[in-house]
Amino acid sequence: MKDAEAKDPFVCLIERVSRALSENLGIDELKAWRLLLQPIKEEYGDLGFPLMRYVKGRRLDAIEILNDIMTRLKNSGIDYVNIELVSGFMNFRLNIPESFKRLVFLMKKGWRPRPEVCSEAKRIVVEHTSANPIHPLHMGHARNSILGDTLSRLLKARGHRVNRRFYIDDVGRQVAIAVLGFELLNIKNPKMLSEELRIKPDHLAGWIYATTHTAMDVVKAKNDGKSKELEELAYSLARLEEREPVGGWTEKILNSISLVDDPEKLISRLINRYERGLEPERTIVRTVSEFVLEGFKETLKRLKIEFDHWDWESDLVWNDLVSEILDRAKKSKYYMIHKGVEAINIPEIIKEIVLKDKDMKKNFKIPRNLEVPPLILVRSDGTTLYTTRDIAYTIKKFREFSADKVINVVGAEQRLPQLQIRLALLGLGFRKEALNLIHYDYEMVRLVGMKMSGRRGVYMALDNIFDEVKARAKEEVLKRNPNESLEWIDSVAEAVALGAIRFSMIQSSASKPLTFDPEKALNFKENSGPYLQYTYARSVGILEKVGEIRWNLIDYEGCKDPMRRRLIVNAMKFPMIAAKAADDLAPEDLATYLLKLSDSFNAWYQRDPVIRESNEGIKYCKVAMVKFISETVKKGLELLGIPPLRRM
């Protein structure tokens, strides 16, 4: 094994102890190390294990277990830890001078902190963002994209093969409406137009989509004689008109739609012909979609988010994967006619497959009184539904990447359809796929004092938020670096803004609704991405002032100081914490950990100066610590997709 790949003393310790605990107590090794990582009070030790939970009611002797662990550790050459039993807990205290010495030995040879690589690498598809190509990415998409991207980074670092995919939903109703808008305005070359008008493609499309949608609703409300609704719609339309890219567009769209007998029929016809791959719809829809995607790509590039594949939903229809699924459904015993259209009998699948199997029940966790309706496959006009196409897409994701697992980052409001999809897969005989499809759901992003609606063109585009945050960051950078070039200041501001936005999107768990307050994202204080970036910049600053690290001068007794000791122990936990965050699909855990580490690092160097330390041995001990923390924070930032800055 190369030294750069060697395991650090802390990871070695955790591995040995977990194995010993697992064998002695008959629990999962994974569970053992997860319990070991639970934070404990410093006075009890560096690691703790709640032994009483397992010893209770069994003929197990805690002292025997302790002795066994001690012996095993001795045999593995791990002599830098002390264990004691206190009120049912097994507490571990590291000999820091000794373990830090081993760590420094590795670091000197090029070892760097990184998440502990898992023993069983899997092939994992992460599908995320997948926004309809009809309007700019907004803050809701931001949470999706950033979660998806961060998960991908974590899983990759954990040693898995990750395939990142964007699903281009070009078949649905939404795109058809946007396309209708482009048609009504007679826009043949959107790209040229957006360049002329200097409007980003997705922003231009967003206006056209919202206006067309609203105009359609206006006409509908008029025909139905709903005057109250009409009033609100007229207001929305007026708001849109204020922002129209070219004078008269709103009127043109509204008038054109008013002339059509039944706009819905027009949309239906468009979808129908597009699904069949007929021209000119084929070219028109693709042109508009591709045009909007260019805008997405620009935004995503800023967020440092990349994809391995861009999958066209229409390809699934044209390449017969959807009809393959439909055929399979027809032959299935769960095929049914529901409300006069083709469907899959989901309730029957639950009854016959899920409820009869204990593991299935656990995997699907279907609430007792939840009625999952049948899944309709085809509309009465012959076009397919999103869920049908998504079944096909799931199969494609598993097949193309030979995936063990597929993670869909999709909003929590889509829980029911996502569950239906998994159940349908199960009923159609795709058992492995059904069990390994994960709906990674997240709650809504709410903007303070604002209700968003894409259909009405009311949303806070990510691009605009980013610009706002960047402008604020620029002020701060400029204040601190008045003599730097504008170019440098701009690039730092961009990175700081990215750090602020990415961090704010992952710092709380996905299951909680997130209230995005632009004011708060502009707060670059503690508990923020920029705070982590600052911590890293400071550590680099110190190292640069020190120059070359004289490893052989280090006096390891220097780590005994309580503050330094605590810091080293905290940082040593990084590989395991990051690994756990990856396994749990919980980037927020890593974020919280990095904040804590930064806190203790910042508190430390401010009280215990490094460069001015007069004792050379102690000084280089501290320098080694700074190097260690610096590399840890850097790796952590990379995992979160936040650019580490050497200076800010």
Partner RNA sequence: GGGCCCGUAGCUCAGCCAGGAUAGAGCGCCGGCCUCCUAAGCCGGUGGUCGGGGGUUCAAAUCCCCCCGGGCCCGCCA
Residues 562-601 that bind RNA (CB under 7 A): 584, 586, 588-589, 592, 595-596, 599
> Binding to RNA (CB under 7 A): which residues in 101-130?
none
Is the Cβ of residue 193 or residue 645 nearer to RNA in the bound state?
645
What is the smallest separation between the CB atom of 411 and RNA, expressed in angstroms?
8
What is the smallest separation between the CB atom of 356 and RNA, expressed in angstroms?
20
> Binding to RNA (CB under 7 A): which residues in 483-512?
492, 496, 507-509, 511-512
Candidate list 476, 490, 561, 638; residue touching RNA; CB under 7 A: 476
**Under the criterion CB under 7 A, does residue 229 sit at the interface with RNA?**
no
What is the smallest separation between the CB atom of 464 and RNA, expressed in angstroms?
20
Q: Is the torsion defined by CA of 16, 18, 22, 28 positive or negative?
A: negative
Is the Cβ of residue 464 or residue 481 nearer to RNA in the bound state?
481
Is the Cβ of residue 104 or residue 267 nearer to RNA in the bound state?
267
Is the Cβ of residue 92 or residue 249 nearer to RNA in the bound state?
92
Is the Cβ of residue 149 or residue 589 nearer to RNA in the bound state?
589
> Binding to RNA (CB under 7 A): which residues in 162-201?
169, 171-174
Candidate list 200, 470, 538, 573; residue touching RNA; CB under 7 A: 538
Is the Cβ of residue 67 or residue 515 nearer to RNA in the bound state?
515
**Under the criterion CB under 7 A, does residue 406 sit at the interface with RNA?**
no
Q: How many CB atoms lie within 10 A of CB 647?
A: 13
What is the smallest separation between the CB atom of 372 and RNA, expressed in angstroms?
8
**Under the criterion CB under 7 A, does residue 53 sit at the interface with RNA?**
yes
Candidate list 21, 35, 218, 257; residue touching RNA; CB under 7 A: 35
What is the smallest separation between the CB atom of 14 and RNA, expressed in angstroms?
14
Is the Cβ of residue 52 or residue 471 nearer to RNA in the bound state?
52
**Under the criterion CB under 7 A, does residue 276 sit at the interface with RNA?**
no
Long-range pairs of 18-27 with CB within 8 A, sequence gap ≥ 24: 19/72, 20/65, 20/68, 20/69, 20/72, 20/73, 21/49, 21/65, 21/69, 24/60, 24/65, 24/68, 24/69, 25/54, 25/55, 25/60, 25/65, 27/54
Is the Cβ of residue 218 or residue 469 nearer to RNA in the bound state?
469
101: amino acid identity, one letter: K
Is the Cβ of residue 341 or residue 438 nearer to RNA in the bound state?
341
Is the Cβ of residue 251 or residue 526 nearer to RNA in the bound state?
526
What is the smallest separation between the CB atom of 446 and RNA, expressed in angstroms?
8
Orientation of helix 574-583 relative to helix 587-607, angle to 10°: 160
What is the smallest separation between the CB atom of 37 and RNA, expressed in angstroms?
9
> Binding to RNA (CB under 7 A): which residues in 601-630?
602-603, 605-612
User: Which tokens sit at 486?
Assistant: 């504008």
Q: How many CB atoms lie within 10 A of CB 185?
A: 20
**Under the criterion CB under 7 A, does residue 513 sit at the interface with RNA?**
yes
What is the smallest separation between the CB atom of 147 and RNA, expressed in angstroms?
13
User: Which tokens sit at 607?
Assistant: 């009280």
Number of H helices, E strands in the chain: 28, 13
Measured distance CA(499)–CA(637) in Å, rounded:
9
**Under the criterion CB under 7 A, does residue 527 sit at the interface with RNA?**
yes
Is the Cβ of residue 197 or residue 448 nearer to RNA in the bound state?
448
25: amino acid identity, one letter: L
Site size with RNA, rule: CB under 7 A? 99
What is the smallest separation between the CB atom of 205 and RNA, expressed in angstroms?
16
What is the smallest separation between the CB atom of 519 and RNA, expressed in angstroms?
10
In 297-448, beta strands by DSSP E: 309-312, 335-338, 341-344, 375-376, 405-411, 437-442, 445-447
Candidate list 83, 199, 230, 412; residue touching RNA; CB under 7 A: 412
CA gyration radius for the chain?
A: 29
> Binding to RNA (CB under 7 A): which residues in 440-469?
443-444
Q: How many CB atoms lie within 10 A of CB 358?
A: 8
Candidate list 386, 458, 484, 553; residue touching RNA; CB under 7 A: 386
**Under the criterion CB under 7 A, does residue 413 sit at the interface with RNA?**
yes
Is the Cβ of residue 363 or residue 507 nearer to RNA in the bound state?
507
Is the Cβ of residue 9 or residue 45 nearer to RNA in the bound state?
45
Read off φ and ψ for residue 244, nearest 5 degrees.
Answer: -65, 135
Terminal CA-CA length for the chain:
38
Q: Which of 430, 352, 360, 365 is nearest to 391 (CA)?
A: 430
**SS (HEC) of 159-194:** CCEEEEEEEECCCCHHHHHHHHHHHHCCCCCHHHHH
Q: Are 479 and 499 in contact (CB under 8 A)?
A: no
Q: Which of 378, 370, 317 is nearest to 343 (CA)?
A: 378
> Binding to RNA (CB under 7 A): which residues in 543-562?
545
> Binding to RNA (CB under 7 A): which residues in 315-374?
339-341, 367-371, 373
Strands 437-442 and 405-411: parallel
**SS (HEC) of 331-373:** HCCCEEEECCEEEECHHHHHHHHHCCCHHHHHHHCCCCCCCCC
Which string of DSSP letters, residue by residue, matches 519-553? Answer: HHHT--SSSSHHHHHHHHHHHHHHHHHH-S--GGG
**Under the criterion CB under 7 A, does residue 526 sit at the interface with RNA?**
yes
**Under the criterion CB under 7 A, does residue 471 sit at the interface with RNA?**
no
**Under the criterion CB under 7 A, does residue 277 sit at the interface with RNA?**
no
Place of tokens 């200076």: 647
What is the smallest separation between the CB atom of 414 and RNA, expressed in angstroms?
5
276: amino acid identity, one letter: R
Which string of DSSP letters, residue by residue, matches 470-503? Answer: HHHHHHHHHHH-TTS-HHHHHHHHHHHHHHHHHH
**Under the criterion CB under 7 A, does residue 88 sit at the interface with RNA?**
yes
